[in-house]
Amino acid sequence: MSTLTIDRISKSFGSVQALKRVSFDAKNGEFIVIVGPSGAGKSTTLNCIAGVEYPEEGTILIDGQDVTLMPPQDRDVAMVFENYALYPQMRVRDNLAFPLRSPKYRVNEEEISKRIERVSGLLGIDLLLDRLPRQLSQGQRQRVSLGRALVRDPKIYLFDEPISHLDAKLRNAMRRELKRIRASLSQTTIYVTHDYLEALSLADRVVVLFKGEVLQFDQKEKIYNLPAAMEVGQLFGDPPMMFFEGKLDEKGYFMSNDRAVSLTNREISGKVPDEVDVVLGLRPSDVSLASKGKGQVEGEVYSVQNQFDHQLITIKAEKSLFDVVAEQSVSLSEGDKAWINIPFEACYFFSKETHKVIA
Amino acid sequence: MAKVEIENVHKNYGAKEDAVKGASFTCEDGELVVLLGPSGCGKTTTLRMITGLETITSGTIKIGGKIVNNLTPQQRNVAMAFETYALYPPLTVYDNIAFPLHVMNLSKADVDKKVRKVAESLSITEILPNYPDSLAGGQKQRVSLARALVREPTVFLMDEPLSHVDADVRYRARAEIKHMQATSNATVIYVTHDQVEAVALADRVIVMDLGVIQQIGSPVELYNKPANLFVAGFIGEPPMNLIPCKLELSEGKIALTFKGDGQKKFSYSVKVLPAKTMKALQGYSGKDVVIGIRPQKLKIDAASKTAVDGSMDARLVVHEFLGKNGIAQVEVDHTMLECVTTPTIPFAMGDNVRIIAPFEDLNIFDQVTTQRIPY
């Protein structure tokens, strides 16, 4: 049960600045997810919290105590890696008990049994305790590796992409399971991933990291619904947000560079300066097909992809491609004319120069 | 292009079990068929037998109505689409496309006609004088496709061509493949283990497991009416909720009772069900079945005392906010079920709720044969 404060930490590797004044905090028991593309500085941030790396500037506080330069073993944090190194010659039970038998965290055997029972029950591996790692499936090994961190009672759990290497189906199943496990954990947790679904599912608050900078640190609902920058919008959504460059005219209409979109001026005027280069961001799930001759964009169907209970229809208008999520009942094929309805609520405007959201 | 017919094809690598056990299917001229299954299911072996890279143990493969069992890959004139992705950097796009025609001893005018025709169909006429280095990824892909198309192959074979494409641009790469296939009207047989990719691209999907074809159908058919428990569990995200139940047909009612403590059941009034359905299910009364319902179809609602058809009390375990939607995990009689919901729901963790499984959205499987009961 601890708090964590990261205050303007910076870190360079040679000429590459990996972290640029990164700040965020975690309240007692809070689950924070750090999300970003590869190379964003996620793991470096986590390593600084663990004490495996030291920042060049800034401070890290655990429970108000400055631990910036404290060696890892004195910080009382537990880390779970993507790469689950289990001891192959040890049964699951002994793998789980291992951290509790180390000189630093030694507890008595009775307590060890109790904790193994609790954690293995939580992870659904209670029937596998006498097996060797090679007798386990990939997902089961992942659970044991999680369990090895969870048997400890550290101040903070650190997770470094624990399920990223699993294939999509297993990863989704493990994410749903982690969500259940998380409900019975009370420790403060920092979790790193590049998968936005893990971030939205598991987090209380999300840190979006991009090229070593925090683009947004907010409640997960706000991250999705009110992205602070283009990169945040792009990261959160599948298929990702579409971007169109253009200008707003004096009446508040958005005109894209190839004249594919002209939006109604409702509510835009005043909020966004005229004649400024802007980028319009739209999520495929927020736009819809309009009936013939209606909507703001007219185009031709470029491709149709089935997505189980709906379809992803790509429409070519002028030089732009629009992705629209449509009901399964819609019957369109390549080459058909189509019209797209863009509700004003679906529009995000970003500055072309800074990529930050406007108003 | 050509139609491809596979008839009762077997492949044995010397083991007791065949790697492919009597595969039969047809890929029509201009159709995109996807072979889908987990690793080791026999999909790549099947593709390699069509290419001619692998001999067949027994059975017949026809391309364009002609038996090709003993023909070399060249004689079959098939194209492995993305194998030829590497373009020749010192040649222009035009010369890259014309390259395979040089061995055919065609006149210059004929070569020009063929190159311009294929370039037109793939909208790359404008870039014909350019060099490969100046092209974007999607354009390069189209040029490589044009080079494969220009020699008029009988069929395109693709083996996981997108497995190395980043997830965030994969949907656009799929859109390109779909678009190119539709505009060039190519016959394509495509192999993948990724169900999302399979349903996105396919006119029809062939689901394989353990060397056996499990189902052939359109993406919608696989999703709504999976032929057996394997397909039901393999297709769909999150996977279909599968619940072992006991089926009971009695005066005016169908009851599907969970296997746990025997207290929880989905009940339906028989009066609203067609006679055909009743007849099909009659033989299963009193027997064990497995029912399947898609998380997208299972509804979650406020707890209520008044029961409706297919409603059941449940406890909300957790709910995930996932942006455009959400997933609720509910517990019924020690069974965890999943419901796809709106992004947020008005219930808290641990709340009593009720779930509703409409009868028309249920699939019922024979527990012994694992086959879907048709009704």
Q: Per residue in A229-245, pLDDT tens?
A: 999 999 999 889 999 99
- Identify the closest residue of chain A to B182 by CA–CA distance: A334
Distance from CA of B296 to the nearest CA of A (A): 8
Structure tokens at A277: 């280069």
Task: Please report where in the chains the tokens 């090994």 appear, as a residue.
Answer: A141
pLDDT at residue A271, rounded to an integer: 62
Tell me the pTM.
0.88
Distance from CA of B143 to the nearest CA of A (A): 18
- Within 301-360 of B, beta carbons closer than 8 Å to A belong to 317-318, 320-324, 327, 329, 338, 343-344, 349
Would you call B29 helix, strand, or coil by DSSP?
Answer: coil
Residue B28 has pLDDT above 90, yes or no: yes
Distance from CA of A179 to the nearest CA of B (A): 7
A67-74 long-range contacts (CB < 8 A, ≥24 apart) are A68/A9, A73/A104
Which stretch, B42-46, B258-262, B306-310, has highest mean pLDDT? B42-46
pLDDT at residue B84, rounded to an integer: 46
Distance from CA of B286 to the nearest CA of A (A): 32
- What strands lie across the sheet with A156-160, from one edge to the other? A77-80, A156-160, A188-193, A31-35, A205-210, A213-219
Cβ–Cβ < 8 Å for B349, B358: no
Over the stretch B322-336, which tens digit does the pLDDT of each residue have? 999 999 999 998 899
**Contacts for B12 with CB less than 8 Å, ≥ 6 apart:** B18, B19, B57
What is the rounded average pLDDT of the residues B358-363?
Answer: 95
Per-residue confidence at A330, pLDDT binned at 50, 70, 90?
very high
Distances (CA, A) of B164 to A92, A350, B160, B169, B170: 34, 31, 9, 11, 9
Residue B82 has pLDDT above 60, yes or no: no
In whole angstroms, give the CA distance from residue B110 to residue B101: 10
The beta-carbon neighbor of B327 closest among A176, A240, A305 is A176
**Which residues of chain A lie closer than 8 angstroms to B317, CB-CB?**
180, 183
Over the stretch A18-64, which tens digit does the pLDDT of each residue have? 999 999 999 999 999 999 998 899 999 999 999 999 999 999 999 99
* B38 in contact with chain A, both atoms CB, cutoff 8 A: no
Q: Output the DSSP codes for A70-130.
A: --GGGT-EEEE-SS----TTS-HHHHHHHHHHSTTT---HHHHHHHHHHHHHHHT-TT-TT
What is the rounded average pLDDT of the residues B189-211?
Answer: 95
Distance from CA of A86 to the nearest CA of B (A): 25
The beta-carbon neighbor of A312 closest among B171, B219, B343 is B171
Buried/exposed code over A259-292 (b: 16+ C-beta within 10 A; e: otherwise): ebbebeeeebeeebeeeeebbbbbbbbbbbbbee
* B175 in contact with chain A, both atoms CB, cutoff 8 A: yes
Look up residue B97 and give its DSSP letter: H
The beta-carbon neighbor of A306 closest among B176, B200, B320 is B200
The beta-carbon neighbor of B237 closest among A172, A302, A312 is A172
pLDDT at residue B83, rounded to an integer: 44
CA angle at residue A200 from A196 to A202, to 5 degrees? 115
Would you call B11 helix, strand, or coil by DSSP?
Answer: strand
Report chain A's terminal Cα–Cα distance, integer Å.
Answer: 38
Would you call B231 helix, strand, or coil by DSSP?
Answer: helix
CA angle at residue B159 from B196 to B41, to 5 degrees? 70
Structure tokens at B200: 């996105």
- What strands lie across the sheet with B326-332, from one edge to the other? B299-302, B352-356, B311-321, B326-332, B335-341
HSE-up (13 A, CA, CB side) for residue A166:
22
Distance from CA of B103 to the nearest CA of A (A): 35
Whether residues B294 and A239 touch (CB distance < 8 A) is answered with no
**Contacts for B372 with CB less than 8 Å, ≥ 6 apart:** B225, B226, B227, B228, B232, B363, B364, B365, B366
Over the stretch B105-131, which tens digit does the pLDDT of each residue have? 889 999 999 999 888 877 789 999 999
In a mutagenesis test of the A interface, which of B166, B180, B196, B344 is the best target, namely the one with the most A β-carbons within 10 Å?
A: B196
What is the rounded average pLDDT of the residues B242-260?
Answer: 91
Interface of A with B (CB under 8 A): 168-169, 172-173, 175-176, 179-180, 182-183, 196-197, 200-201, 220-221, 224, 234, 236-240, 283, 285, 302-309, 312, 314, 321, 323, 328, 333-335
**Which residues of chain A lie closer than 8 angstroms to B321, CB-CB?**
200-201, 220-221, 224
Distance from CA of B218 to the nearest CA of A (A): 10
Helix-then-strand count for chain B, H and E: 10, 20
Q: Output the DSSP codes for B311-362.
A: EEEEEEEEEEE-SS-EEEEEEETTEEEEEEE-SS-S--TT-EEEEE--GGGE
- Identify the closest residue of chain B to A173 by CA–CA distance: B238
What are the φ/ψ torsions at residue A262 (nearest 5 degrees)? -135, 115
Whether residues A172 and B171 touch (CB distance < 8 A) is answered with no
pLDDT at residue B271, rounded to an integer: 78
Distances (CA, A) of B62 to A233, B27, B66, B328: 49, 10, 5, 49
**Which residues of chain A lie closer than 8 angstroms to B327, CB-CB?**
176
**Contacts for A237 with CB less than 8 Å, ≥ 6 apart:** A196, A224, A283, A284, A285, B323, B324
In whole angstroms, give the CA distance from residue A24 to residue B282: 63
In whole angstroms, give the CA distance from residue A72 to residue A224: 34
Positive or negative CA dihedral for A222, A224, A230, A236? Answer: positive
Cβ–Cβ < 8 Å for B317, B331: yes
**Which residues of chain B lie closer than 8 angstroms to A333, CB-CB?**
182
**Which residues of chain B lie closer than 8 angstroms to A180, CB-CB?**
317-318, 329
In whole angstroms, give the CA distance from residue A231 to residue B375: 49
- Look over chain A and give the mean of its residue pLDDT values, rounded to a whole number: 90
Share above pLDDT 90 across residues of chain B, in percent, rounded to a whole number: 68
Residue B81 has pLDDT above 70, yes or no: no
Distance from CA of A308 to the nearest CA of B (A): 6
What is the rounded average pLDDT of the residues B180-197?
Answer: 90
Count of CB contacts below 8 A, A vs B?
Answer: 105
The beta-carbon neighbor of A334 closest among B182, B223, B349 is B182
